[in-house]
Each structure stands twice: as C-alpha cells, then as structure tokens.
C-alpha cells in the first residue's frame, strides 16, 4: 500500500476517533475529553492532507 493511502486511512481513523471522543465528552460533561477529541480531529485532518499531497507527488 502506498504511503499516501496509509496517511489518508490513518487520518480518517483519527478523525472518527476524535469525533467519538468529542461526542462522549460533550454528553458526559467532560471538557477534557471533548477537547482531546477536537485535537484528534485536527490531527486526522492534517494527516489526510499529507496523504493528498503525497499522492500529488506520487509517493
């Protein structure tokens, strides 16, 4: 599997994980977990972009 594809998959997984954490944190009133979820979502989005850039350069 190409590196770009791996980055996209890992990025999407981080976004999903972050979304779940954010939702659970919001429902339970746990602000720390909610913030951690937001960070995971941002990290995932960034990793997906890295994968897209690598794809453009065929890596």
Res. 59: pLDDT tops 80: no
pLDDT band at 58 (very low <50, low <70, confident <90, very high): confident
Give the whole-angstrom CA distance, residue 38 versus residue 2: 28
- What one-character-per-residue DSSP string does 1-59 give? --HHHHHHHHHHHHHHHHHHHHHHHHHHT-HHHHHHHHHHHHHHHHHHHHHHHHHHTT-
For residues 4 and 54, is the Cβ–Cβ distance under 8 A?
A: yes
Query: pTM score > 0.75 for this model?
Result: yes
- Of the two residues 55 and 20, the one the predictor is more confident about is 20
- Of the two residues 59 and 43, the one the predictor is more confident about is 43
List pLDDT tens digits, range 1-53: 899 999 999 999 999 999 999 999 999 999 999 999 999 999 999 999 999 99
> Which residue matches tokens 């997984």?
13
């Amino acid at each position: 599997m190409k590196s770009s594809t791996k980055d996209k998959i890992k990025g999407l997984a981080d976004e999903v994980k972050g979304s779940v954490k954010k939702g659970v944190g919001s429902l339970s009133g746990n602000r720390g977990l909610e913030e951690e979820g937001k960070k995971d979502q941002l990290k995932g989005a960034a990793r997906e972009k890295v994968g897209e850039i690598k794809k453009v350069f065929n890596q």
